Structure 1
Amino acid sequence: MNFFTVSSFIICFSIGAGESCTKITENLHYSCMGRNLSYIPPSIPSSIQTLDFSFNVLKHLKKTVFPVLSFLRVLDLSRCQIKHIENDTFYNVKNLTALILTGNPITYFGPGCLNFLRNLQRLVLVDVGLSSLQLQINNLTKLQELRVGTNNIQSMSLPPFMSSFKDFSLLDLHGNNISVIKTHHTAVFREIGRNMTLILSRNPLSYIEPGAFKDVYLRRLDIRSTFASSAAQKAGLKALYGLNVKRLMFGKFRGEFKFQFSDAHVLDGLCFIHFQEIYYYIIERPSEPVSIFRCMINATNVIVKSGVIHEMEYVFFHEIKELYLLQDQLLTLPGKQLSHLHTLEKLVIAHNIEPLRAGTSFTDMPKLQYLDLSSNRMTLTRCCTTLLSGTPQLRYLNLSQNGEIGLELGGFDGLASLEILDFHHTRVLDLGYYSSLSNLKYLRYLDVSYSSITFVNIFSFYGPNNLKILKMAGNKFKGDVASYLFSNLTLLEHLDMSYCHVVELHPSSFKNLQRLRLLNLRGNNLMTIDFLALPDLKRLTSLYVDKNSITSIPLHVLQKLPTNLSEIDLSSNPIDCSCSQTDFILWIIQNQKVLKQPENIFCKTLSPSSDFRATDFDIDSCVHKKRLTIVLSVCFVTVVVLLSFLVYRFQFYLQYCCILLRGYRSPGQQECSYDAFVIFSSYDEVWVMNELMENLENGVPPIQLCLHMRDFQAGKSITSNIIDEGIMGSRKIIVVVSQHFIDSAWCRFEFELAQSRFMLERNANIIIIILEDVEERKTKKVFGLHKHLKKNTYLKWSRDPLSNMRFWIRLRKAIISTNQ
């Protein structure tokens, strides 16, 4: 390997080491956990305050292991395989306040290895192989916590010098091998302040010298799963007489061995311990009734978990404020036994093992504010005035996850202070039919989710006008009751209507909910959310409409969405990903920060099982298609308009062509009714009647003329008469040209039709009579007239007798002659 290769390797290694730690907070907090490091990376800044170096390899700790980190306060060296700690190891990190050495197989502690840590407040030596509390920690005068659980310590005796540690407040000895406690073992505890917590759980304690804890003041004592036998527990509790403790925790952890009691007085020792709060976990199975609460009458907080209490005893607690009965085996709700507790403020009877019978009511409990009766499989036929007749200050009532509860009108009389009511996953009867909540004017929170309610009465929520949170998921609405159900809940901020089988919501449903911030409509069958365009929902910040049947949202709705809306869930809807919905798809793409789970918005219209994301839809392709469509549409409209104009402009000619196409024969092939059709202006009618008709029809042989004012059929369109009677019904066409003829639109039209016949048949004769001289430029005004006069012989009327005679002879000859 050459020099260049070696240099490259060193550089790469250094870079790798620098990247091996994760920056949690810039220059303050780094984590190097589980990186298989054997040294502190040089990239760690000197300003660091917290370093997690757990699960690495530091078998031998000495001064050179740590760089100078003067600001380091928390150092975690858990599971680093540390075996040897030298005296000056922590010199460069002397300002530590927390040192964690959990899970290291330490075989050697330098006598003064911790002497430099004068500011240390928390020392964790869990599972490090300690056999004694006689540690060289003389200089740790600011120590507050010493955690030495899961070791092999056999005595809880602290070094005498620790009596001067005035801030010392926690000693954790759980999971050690302490079996005996004598009076001299607790000497230091008598001298330390009264804020001390002592954890002795999971030690095989068999003997406590009576009075060993006399005049000891503790904030908390945990002796769960501490006694080796039932007899040891009975004797141990008695030996704790004279102990003053704020919170006493005893009993068994779940899943551990349970004693079988044959002594009803096994808990009598509690009567000689001064405590305020008592936590009794997993009561051992007695072979005869045990008076659990007799020695707890002076406690303020009592928790009994997983106890066998078939019938609760009458207990006259003196100052009790909170009572918890959790996962017990009560058979009947102990209303009678707990009544008259004037100091009780909070009562929790929950998760009972057996179905709990209602029993008697709670009476004379003037300070009770919090009552939790959840998860007891309880059935109440009438609730709740009778059951809670003596609880006028009740503010919290939880009856969730029970069997069935029946409500009635006035069911909450006397409970006007109620603020929180929870019925979720409990079958509630009659709430959808009556105004059962009418007197709960201070109610702020109501949960009736999955309570098998069908809302029929629009006044079901009449009364609780101060309601802010309403959860009603999993219920049903009859007809359009949802459109009016919330009309008086003007202070509502959170509404959950998920999984309610809702197909459509009328905008009036949320008309008065101007303070609504969260609306949950998940799991319904909604196809539109047009109600979002309402100005009433201007404060809405969160909307959940996932798992519905929404294919699109119109542009006008998107433009009127509440401006405060910061979270929308549209996932799991059959979104229509087509070019007709480009506005909606573009909105999805542009608002992914607002959309919750945008990656789960799929184009289901392509296929029900499609996994094509709406955010991947190609909008540009639609733009090109749209442009092409617009161009084609414009062209089509232009052609239609042009054709319409041409049809309108030449409608008579088209009609003439249609008539010909329908099978009209030419005058030569059919018998014509007239010899000649006369085209003239009505202003020239006198000349036509007096001169033309008189000379032709009364001459020899007579010539039958077709004159529009005389021969056109009444009730028939003028155009049809011109074509049928005039042009197609006559062998010849006579055109009387005058200034009036030039100016007449009908004359021009008739002449053009005549020309059309000439063009189609090639043998149609048009005889032009110039009644009066017309300027040549004016003849060009009539399509084809000027050209016809240039190419064909025409007759000119004259008042000269000789010319007049020749005119009639030539005209009669032109009419009578047969086309070759």
Structure 2
Amino acid sequence: MALDISCFLLVALFSASCQAIGSSDQRCTEKEVNKTYNCEHLGLSEIPGTLPNSTESLEFSFNALPTIQKTTFSRLVNLTFLDLTRCQIYWIHEDTFQSQHRLETLVLTANPLIFMAETALTGPKALKHLFFIQTGISSIEFIPVHSQKALESLYLGSNHISSIRLPKDFPTEKLKVLDFQNNAIHHLSKEDVSSLQQATNLSLNLNGNDITGIEPGAFKSTVFQSLNFGGTQSLLVIFKGLQNSTIQSLWLGTFEDIDDDEDISSSMFEGLCEMSVERINLQKHHFFNITSNTFYCFSGLQELDLTATHLTELPSGIVGLSKLKKLVLSANKFENLCQISASNFPSLTHLYIKGNTKRLELGSGCLETLEHLRELDLSHDDIETSDCCNLQLRNLSHLQSLNLSYNEPLGLRTEAFKECPQLELLDLAFTRLHVKDAQSPFQNLHLLKVLNLSHCLLGSSNQHLLDGLPALRHLNLQGNRFPNGNIQKTNPLQALGSLEILILSFCDLSSIDHQAFINLKIMNHVDLSHNRLTSSSIEALSHLKGIYLNLASNRISIIPPSLLPVLSQQRTINLRQNPLDCTCSNIYFLEWYKENMQKLEDIEDTFCANPPLLRGVKVSDVMLSCSMAAVGIFFLIVFLLLFAVLLIFAVKRFLRWKYQHI
């Protein structure tokens, strides 16, 4: 009975009133104070008067501005970026952007433009990037850019343009990107190309136009940073038309929905012998029969992309690829790594065989002639071997990056990568690893900086798993398990004194010993999200300062005052999707939260879970009054009076008893 009365008194004494400050305001979102605003999808028909004159970046997509004129944006004289995508714009009147002298980027994508005044763009002299994608225009002359001397990129994709010829007064002095993809351009003449000659190192995108004819000599003596003829069915037309040109990057890939029955042969590539190209992409073409002379005219090539070209093997003795530095053979049909005949590419530094459509056997020493190889990607290839990877990677002593992620189980012994001592990045994500020895399979990788072991189903009870990695900076252990869901004081991480980034999300962690990370003194990024941690685990980070700390999706409800200094000394904290208590029991944390919102990430998605009345309310909107209520004060006075009476009565009884026993 006494206990019940005490509980009742405590509830009365500390009863609290709660108030949530919510907002249904649909005004523009401020991303950067007084500078950057997002007004997308608000159904607006004019520029809100609440936007300050100092606004520099405005995202105004998916609103309704059928007509824009000089007064529409006249107040926003500091604009440098303006996005008007899908604003139902039909008419752009005279001097519309007359006041926007600093405007650099204007996006008019997906507006059904009917009229654009000749002086519409005379104001912004600093305009660099223009987007007229999917606007229905059929000619470049529709766009009045003659006064835009600073123009660097013009995007005209998905329109009805049939010629790339630029008007005589078109400013090309600084033009770097000209994008015509998915238009109706099928023929290129000398006059078309000559109109581009003033632009140096231009990237011209004609992807999706299906070029069927190029006038002989049209590209003679021209220099391009990149040319994209993606989707063109006849490669013979392209190579003949590009003779005597200089191109850094040539994209000739095709697409799944285009019938490509053209037989790729060495005669088709003869035009390459009379042009200079560094990089070529031929993805998704069909190479039915590659011979040793197929790539004869590729002798100056540095990079070649043969992704999804239905290759099953490459013959030995291929001529023309001895200087090749980068080769992409992804999404083909090799069964054994030796079928690529690596000896064809003695200068290779980068090799990518990703997503092979058949299970790939690594073989033994298939790449040993590639002594200059720096980067190797063998991910998504269904590779499986019980003893990886010294025999398979023999003589790759200069390899710096190795990707074996998304493969079948691999068995690793001590010093499993002894043949690759210069590795700096090793990615084994989503590949189940069987570590067969008590020693570390990575212990000879003294230069390794990044190690991805996410979802490898590793047994983290091996205390020596991560030994011998003195330079490791970034470790991803996402999706692995620790014994009993606990990271103890003695754990494999203690050997990583140079670690800066640690990812332990989705590890089913329930607790972390307060000294589990004691040797990790220079960490600046710790991800503990999507676990079962409570606030007690925060103490393990007390020795760290200025870190990014992700605690999202855990079981943190009440954070005691003793742990608030640990949070205060960090750079950024994420507490999203935790069952946070928004009662007076957590008042010290709630006050700290309000005072440190500049440190908090995802505050718009950080909600209360308790009490029920505030469930789903943003923590930042909660205001608590935790003073004693009037009824609490009344009961306190009554309680004190009763206590005083009982004390006086007890003292009198004691004195009487003492007197009787003298």
**TM-score of the two chains, using structure 1 as the length reference:** 0.63
2:335 maps to: 331
- Cα distance in 2 between the residues matched to 1:503 and 1:31: 39
| Shift of residue 198, structure 1, vs aligned partner | 1.6
5 Å-filtered alignment, 1:667-746, equals: none
Task: Tell me, yes or no, if the aligned pair for 2:263 and 2:286 is still in contact at 8 Å.
Answer: no
- Cα distance in 2 between the residues matched to 1:245 and 1:94: 35
Relative to structure 1, the CA distance from residue 637 to residue 312 in structure 2 (aligned partners, 3 Å threshold; closer, same or farther) is farther
SS in 2 for 1:558: helix
List per-residue Cα deviations over 1:670-711 (Å, max 9, x = no partner): xxxxxxxxxxxxxxxxxxxxxxxxxxxxxxxxxxxxxxxxxx
2:272 maps to: 271
SS in 1 for 2:211: coil
2:396 maps to: 391
- Cα distance in 1 between the residues matched to 2:575 and 2:106: 48
List per-residue Cα deviations over 1:361-387 (Å, max 9, x = no partner): 322434433222222222132222222
Task: Tell me, yes or no, if the aligned pair for 1:514 and 1:539 is still in contact at 8 Å.
Answer: no
1:422 maps to: 427
1:538 maps to: 544
1:245 maps to: 247
- Cα distance in 1 between the residues matched to 2:46 and 2:626: 54
Give 1:464's aligned amino acid.
Answer: L
Seq. identity, %: 25
- Of 444, 448, 458 in structure 2, the residue corresponding to residue 443 of structure 1 is 448
- Of 347, 351, 367 in structure 2, the residue corresponding to residue 347 of structure 1 is 351
1:320 maps to: 324
Relative to structure 1, the CA distance from residue 22 to residue 562 in structure 2 (aligned partners, 3 Å threshold; closer, same or farther) is closer
Task: Tell me, yes or no, if the aligned pair for 2:321 and 2:344 is still in contact at 8 Å.
Answer: no
Task: Tell me, yes or no, if the aligned pair for 1:48 and 1:72 is still in contact at 8 Å.
Answer: yes
- Cα distance in 1 between the residues matched to 2:66 and 2:587: 56
Task: Tell me, yes or no, if the aligned pair for 1:376 and 1:401 is still in contact at 8 Å.
Answer: yes
| Shift of residue 199, structure 1, vs aligned partner | 1.7
- Cα distance in 2 between the residues matched to 1:562 and 1:500: 22
1:235 maps to: 237
Task: Tell me, yes or no, if the aligned pair for 2:188 and 2:214 is still in contact at 8 Å.
Answer: yes
Relative to structure 1, the CA distance from residue 347 to residue 649 in structure 2 (aligned partners, 3 Å threshold; closer, same or farther) is farther
- Cα distance in 2 between the residues matched to 1:87 and 1:41: 22
Please tell me whether residue 257 in structure 1 is matched to residue 258 in structure 2: yes
Larger displacement relative to structure 2 (586-595 or 440-449): 586-595
Task: Tell me, yes or no, if the aligned pair for 1:181 and 1:208 is still in contact at 8 Å.
Answer: yes
Task: Tell me, yes or no, if the aligned pair for 1:252 and 1:258 is still in contact at 8 Å.
Answer: no
- Of 306, 309, 312 in structure 2, the residue corresponding to residue 310 of structure 1 is 312
Q: CA RMSD in A?
A: 4.9
| Shift of residue 160, structure 1, vs aligned partner | 5.0
1:363 maps to: 368
Task: Tell me, yes or no, if the aligned pair for 1:516 and 1:540 is still in contact at 8 Å.
Answer: no
- Of 499, 509, 520 in structure 2, the residue corresponding to residue 513 of structure 1 is 520
Task: Tell me, yes or no, if the aligned pair for 1:40 and 1:67 is still in contact at 8 Å.
Answer: no
5 Å-filtered alignment, 1:486-501, equals: 486-501=493-508
- Of 193, 197, 205 in structure 2, the residue corresponding to residue 199 of structure 1 is 205
SS in 2 for 1:260: coil
Please tell me whether residue 167 in structure 1 is matched to residue 187 in structure 2: no
- Of 221, 228, 231 in structure 2, the residue corresponding to residue 222 of structure 1 is 228
Give 1:333's aligned amino acid.
Answer: L
1:591 maps to: 593
Relative to structure 1, the CA distance from residue 629 to residue 516 in structure 2 (aligned partners, 3 Å threshold; closer, same or farther) is farther
Relative to structure 1, the CA distance from residue 76 to residue 67 in structure 2 (aligned partners, 3 Å threshold; closer, same or farther) is same
Give 2:592's aligned amino acid.
Answer: Q
- Of 291, 301, 310 in structure 2, the residue corresponding to residue 299 of structure 1 is 301
1:705 maps to: none
Q: Which has the higher helix share?
A: 1
Give 2:258's aligned amino acid.
Answer: F
Task: Tell me, yes or no, if the aligned pair for 1:336 and 1:360 is still in contact at 8 Å.
Answer: no
Give 1:247's aligned amino acid.
Answer: S
2:474 maps to: 469
Task: Tell me, yes or no, if the aligned pair for 2:512 and 2:540 is still in contact at 8 Å.
Answer: no
Please tell me whether residue 212 in structure 1 is matched to residue 213 in structure 2: no
- Cα distance in 2 between the residues matched to 1:66 and 1:504: 56
| Shift of residue 276, structure 1, vs aligned partner | 0.9
Give 2:352's aligned amino acid.
Answer: V
Give 1:428's aligned amino acid.
Answer: L
List per-residue Cα deviations over 1:1-57 (Å, max 9, x = no partner): xxxxxxxxxxxxxxxxxx998888788777887888888899998887777777644
SS in 1 for 2:226: strand
1:280 maps to: 282
1:810 maps to: none
- Cα distance in 2 between the residues matched to 1:30 and 1:49: 8
Relative to structure 1, the CA distance from residue 183 to residue 441 in structure 2 (aligned partners, 3 Å threshold; closer, same or farther) is same
Task: Tell me, yes or no, if the aligned pair for 2:577 and 2:606 is still in contact at 8 Å.
Answer: no
- Of 392, 403, 406 in structure 2, the residue corresponding to residue 401 of structure 1 is 406
**TM-score of the two chains, using structure 2 as the length reference:** 0.76
Relative to structure 1, the CA distance from residue 93 to residue 415 in structure 2 (aligned partners, 3 Å threshold; closer, same or farther) is closer
| Shift of residue 172, structure 1, vs aligned partner | 2.5
List per-residue Cα deviations over 1:412-443 (Å, max 9, x = no partner): 21422222222121101117833212112222
Larger radius of gyration: 1
Task: Tell me, yes or no, if the aligned pair for 1:424 and 1:450 is still in contact at 8 Å.
Answer: yes
| Shift of residue 487, structure 1, vs aligned partner | 2.6
- Cα distance in 1 between the residues matched to 2:145 and 2:358: 53
Give 1:284's aligned amino acid.
Answer: H
Please tell me whether residue 412 in structure 1 is matched to residue 417 in structure 2: yes
- Cα distance in 1 between the residues matched to 2:68 and 2:504: 62
SS in 2 for 1:305: coil
- Cα distance in 1 between the residues matched to 2:553 and 2:408: 29
Task: Tell me, yes or no, if the aligned pair for 1:392 and 1:414 is still in contact at 8 Å.
Answer: yes
Give 1:356's aligned amino acid.
Answer: L
Relative to structure 1, the CA distance from residue 464 to residue 109 in structure 2 (aligned partners, 3 Å threshold; closer, same or farther) is closer
Task: Tell me, yes or no, if the aligned pair for 2:559 and 2:589 is still in contact at 8 Å.
Answer: no
| Shift of residue 197, structure 1, vs aligned partner | 1.9
Task: Tell me, yes or no, if the aligned pair for 1:34 and 1:56 is still in contact at 8 Å.
Answer: no
1:799 maps to: none
Larger RCO: Structure 1 or Structure 2 (Cα < 8 Å, ≥ 6 residues apart)?
2
Larger displacement relative to structure 2 (468-477 or 620-629): 620-629
Larger displacement relative to structure 2 (51-60 or 539-548): 51-60
5 Å-filtered alignment, 1:522-671, equals: 522-526=529-533, 529=536, 532=539, 537-539=543-545, 541-545=547-551, 547-548=553-554, 557-558=562-563, 561=566, 563-569=568-574, 582=585, 584-591=586-593, 593=597, 599-603=606-610, 619-620=626-627, 650=657
SS in 2 for 1:509: coil
SS in 2 for 1:197: strand
Relative to structure 1, the CA distance from residue 139 to residue 501 in structure 2 (aligned partners, 3 Å threshold; closer, same or farther) is closer
- Cα distance in 2 between the residues matched to 1:40 and 1:450: 49
SS in 2 for 1:214: coil
Larger displacement relative to structure 2 (142-151 or 300-309): 142-151
Give 2:181's aligned amino acid.
Answer: H
List per-residue Cα deviations over 1:740-782 (Å, max 9, x = no partner): xxxxxxxxx5xxxxxxxxxxxxxxxxxxxxxxxxxxxxxxxx7
Task: Tell me, yes or no, if the aligned pair for 2:560 and 2:588 is still in contact at 8 Å.
Answer: no
Relative to structure 1, the CA distance from residue 293 to residue 618 in structure 2 (aligned partners, 3 Å threshold; closer, same or farther) is farther
2:161 maps to: 153
Relative to structure 1, the CA distance from residue 335 to residue 538 in structure 2 (aligned partners, 3 Å threshold; closer, same or farther) is farther
- Cα distance in 1 between the residues matched to 2:96 and 2:512: 71
- Number of matched residues? 621
Task: Tell me, yes or no, if the aligned pair for 1:120 and 1:140 is still in contact at 8 Å.
Answer: yes
List per-residue Cα deviations over 1:39-91 (Å, max 9, x = no partner): 88999988877777776445597x88886998776676666666677887777
2:193 maps to: 186
Task: Tell me, yes or no, if the aligned pair for 1:432 and 1:456 is still in contact at 8 Å.
Answer: no
Give 1:532's aligned amino acid.
Answer: E
| Shift of residue 222, structure 1, vs aligned partner | 0.8
